[in-house]
């Protein structure tokens, strides 16, 4: 049965992550970048000032929204800053070579515009019922923004997103966490799975407010702690950083030969791994973050600023730190005691252990535990909101319970197959969203124009 699933998934994955999808993904980001006047480059400082620069100001005067803008972005980043930043980056380098990181950067630079559009449209077209219950996301900006004739695309996205949540936001996270805990502390994966079920259930059964409060506390602290560990290693190896960056750029356009246990990689494989793992990490193009950004007490275009920084921090900062640590410590191409190439979280952990003897491995292990845990919390919300759109609020509690079952299954499952299936569902759910973003690019352009016109008129409310 496992062999059959692997075969079918491999065939579908080859189509989903083939050249047409890569072109659609990158092309959407480029198109939005142009339509928005290269906003993420020209107005990066403005986006900071009106996002992180305002995060301690009250947003109570806004009429609707379950959480603050900062809680929305930390909840979204709880989903994006996960094992993709640790295991995903390592896998990209181990299979695609250092050049994969260059293509991860490229997709992130244009993905900043994509994520900005998702956050803006998610809030702009959200639905608030008579009881003040807020719902939003790709399915609503397809239905409301494109019209009822496109509802089939909204339904397709919601169905696929509900399924994808069991992969990218559930089994991949629990599997990596359980395997890492087993390796680091010798705890059986089934035991870790049971504990995870209890911890995830304790938060997710309380809904978005409890998820947001948890993410707001854990995500910033854990991200800073991980970066401090990485920067400590890079400080020691500072003279080797230019050479590492040179490898990344060189092998983005030139195949890399076999080294040690590393079998070598073509440019095409570097591009594929960089794009696939980049999207897995920052989720720009999946549309998932629009579901939680829709919950924010904010104005649509301004909420989009958080989307810009979400991708920037996730990929251009955290993922880059992971990649550089792996390259400067020289662990790429090393094999384990069984002669197998080090990859995934094990490769990153080995790099940190070598860079910070006695401490580095624990930095990675603790980061995996917290990153994976918070990712599962937010993706549970993404999945339940997707299927709530299809089946109504009656599906929410059953979905949460089934999600917990998959948390346990992921903990004891096979790592490689789980990652491959998650990649496939990522591509499938992204396609409807990317089509919608292209068709709604004009709406985004008008939102930008209206925002800056309001600033020019000196509307004090916009600058308060």
What mean pLDDT value characterizes the chain?
Answer: 86
Name the β-bridge partners of 265: 256
Among the ranges 45-54, 117-126, 132-141, 281-290, which has the highest mean pLDDT value?
Answer: 117-126
Among the ranges 95-99, 166-170, 308-312, 441-445, which has the highest mean pLDDT value?
Answer: 441-445
106-110, 293-297, 308-312: which range is least confident on average? 293-297
Q: Which helix (H) or strand (E) holds 443?
A: helix 441-456
Q: Give the tens place of pLDDT for each residue, 209-265.
A: 788 788 888 888 888 889 999 999 999 999 999 999 999 999 999 888 766 556 667
pLDDT at residue 64 in the model: 56
pLDDT at residue 385 in the model: 92
pLDDT at residue 61 in the model: 47
pLDDT at residue 60 in the model: 46
Name the band, by pLDDT with cuts 50, 70 and 90, for residue 311. very high
Name the band, by pLDDT with cuts 50, 70 and 90, for residue 463. very low
Mean pLDDT of 11-28: 83
Among the ranges 11-25, 336-350, 362-376, which has the highest mean pLDDT value?
Answer: 362-376
- 357 SS3 class: coil
What would the DSSP string read from start to end of 397-431? HHHHHHHHHHHHHHHTS-HHHHHHHHHHHHHHHHH
Which residues, 6 or more positions from 202, have their beta carbon under 8 angstroms from its beta carbon? none
pLDDT at residue 412 in the model: 87
Length of the chain: 464
Kindly tell me if the per-residue pLDDT of 391 is higher than 70: yes
- Comparing 342 with 198, the larger pLDDT belongs to 198
**How far apart, in whole angstroms, are the C-alpha atoms of residue 462 and residue 452?**
10
Residue appearing with tokens 């020691």: 236
Instruction: Name the nearest CA neighbour of 344 among 187, 105, 180.
Output: 180
pLDDT at residue 415 in the model: 61
Work out the number of other CB atoms within 10 angstroms of the CB of residue 322: 30
**How far apart, in whole angstroms, are the C-alpha atoms of residue 116 and residue 130?**
28
pLDDT at residue 459 in the model: 55
Q: Give the tens place of pLDDT for each residue, 419-437.
A: 677 778 878 888 999 999 9
Kindly tell me if the per-residue pLDDT of 386 is higher than 80: yes
> What whole-number percentage of the chain has pLDDT above 70?
92
Mean pLDDT of 67-77: 73
* Tokens encoding 160: 């696929």
Mean pLDDT of 95-122: 93
Tell how far CA 10 is from the center of its chain. 22
What would the DSSP string read from start to end of 168-213? IIIIHHHHHHHHHHHHHH---HHHHHHHHHHHHHHHHTT-HHHHHH
Q: Give the tens place of pLDDT for each residue, 20-59.
A: 888 898 899 999 999 999 999 999 888 888 877 766 555 4
Work out the number of other CB atoms within 10 angstroms of the CB of residue 142: 29
Residue appearing with tokens 């409301």: 144
Query: b/e map of 373-395 (b: 16 or more CB within 10 Å)?
Result: bbbbbbbbbbbbbbbbbeeeeeb
pLDDT at residue 264 in the model: 62
Kindly tell me if the per-residue pLDDT of 447 is higher than 70: yes
pLDDT at residue 121 in the model: 96
Name the band, by pLDDT with cuts 50, 70 and 90, for residue 19. confident
Kindly tell me if the per-residue pLDDT of 72 is higher than 90: no
Report phi then psi at 304, rounded to 5.
-60, -25
**How far apart, in whole angstroms, are the C-alpha atoms of residue 210 and residue 197?**
16
pLDDT at residue 65 in the model: 56
pLDDT at residue 207 in the model: 75
- Comparing 130 with 412, the larger pLDDT belongs to 412
For the CA atoms of 427, 169, 394, 287, the dihedral, rounded to the nearest 10 degrees, stands at -40
Query: Could you give all domains of the chain from N- to C-terminal order, each with its CATH number?
Result: 2-463 (1.20.1740.10)
* Tokens encoding 446: 């008008």
Name the β-bridge partners of 67: 296
pLDDT at residue 279 in the model: 80
Residue appearing with tokens 């995060």: 55
pLDDT at residue 297 in the model: 80
For the CA atoms of 340, 274, 307, 347, the dihedral, rounded to the nearest 10 degrees, stands at 20
- Whether 281 and 85 have beta carbons less than 8 Å apart is answered as yes
Kindly tell me if the per-residue pLDDT of 414 is higher than 70: no
**How far apart, in whole angstroms, are the C-alpha atoms of residue 415 and residue 406?**
14
**How far apart, in whole angstroms, are the C-alpha atoms of residue 8 and residue 57?**
51
- 134 SS3 class: strand
Residue appearing with tokens 């004891």: 412
Which residues, 6 or more positions from 165, have their beta carbon under 8 angstroms from its beta carbon? 379, 380, 382, 383, 386, 403
pLDDT at residue 219 in the model: 81
pLDDT at residue 78 in the model: 73
């Amino acid at each position: 049965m496992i062999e059959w699933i692997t075969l079918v998934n491999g065939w579908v994955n080859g189509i989903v992550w083939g050249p047409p999808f890569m072109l659609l993904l990158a092309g959407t980001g480029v198109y939005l970048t142009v339509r928005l006047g290269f906003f993420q480059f020209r107005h990066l400082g403005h986006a900071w000032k009106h996002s992180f620069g305002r995060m301690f100001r009250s947003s109570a005067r806004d009429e609707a929204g379950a959480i603050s803008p900062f809680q929305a972005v930390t909840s979204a980043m709880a989903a994006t800053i996960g094992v993709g930043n640790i295991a995903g980056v390592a896998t990209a380098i181990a299979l695609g070579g250092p050049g994969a990181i260059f293509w991860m950067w490229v997709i992130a630079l244009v993905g900043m515009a994509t994520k900005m559009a998702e956050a803006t449209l998610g809030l702009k077209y959200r639905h608030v019922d008579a009881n003040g219950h807020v719902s939003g996301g790709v399915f609503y900006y397809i239905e409301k923004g494109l019209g009822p004739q496109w509802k089939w695309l909204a339904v397709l996205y919601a169905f696929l997103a509900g399924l994808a949540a069991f992969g990218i936001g559930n089994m991949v996270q629990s599997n990596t966490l359980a395997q890492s805990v087993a390796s680091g502390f010798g705890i059986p994966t089934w035991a870790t799975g049971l504990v995870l079920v209890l911890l995830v259930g304790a938060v997710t059964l309380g809904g978005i407010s409890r998820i947001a409060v948890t993410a707001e506390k854990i995500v910033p602290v854990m991200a800073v702690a991980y970066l401090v560990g990485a920067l400590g290693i890079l400080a020691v190896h500072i003279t080797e950083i230019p050479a590492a960056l040179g490898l990344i750029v060189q092998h983005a356009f030139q195949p890399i030969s076999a080294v040690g246990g590393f079998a070598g990689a073509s440019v095409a494989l570097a591009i594929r791994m960089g794009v696939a793992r980049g999207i897995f990490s920052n989720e720009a193009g999946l549309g998932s973050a629009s579901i939680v950004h829709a919950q924010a007490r904010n104005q649509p275009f301004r909420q989009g600023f958080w989307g810009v920084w979400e991708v920037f921090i996730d990929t251009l900062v955290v993922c880059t730190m992971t990649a550089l640590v792996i390259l400067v410590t020289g662990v790429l191409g090393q094999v384990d005691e069984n002669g197998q190439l080090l990859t995934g979280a094990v490769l990153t952990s080995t790099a940190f252990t070598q860079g910070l003897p006695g401490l580095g491995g624990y930095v990675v292990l603790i980061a995996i535990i917290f990153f994976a845990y918070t990712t599962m919390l937010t993706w549970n919300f993404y999945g339940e909101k997707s299927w709530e759109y299809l089946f109504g609020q009656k599906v929410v509690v059953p979905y949460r319970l089934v999600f917990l079952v998959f948390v346990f299954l992921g903990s004891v499952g096979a790592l490689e197959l789980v990652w491959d299936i998650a990649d496939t569902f990522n591509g499938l759910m992204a396609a409807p969203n990317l089509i919608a973003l292209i068709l709604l690019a004009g709406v985004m352009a008008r939102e930008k124009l209206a925002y800056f016109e309001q600033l020019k008129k000196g509307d004090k409310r916009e600058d308060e």
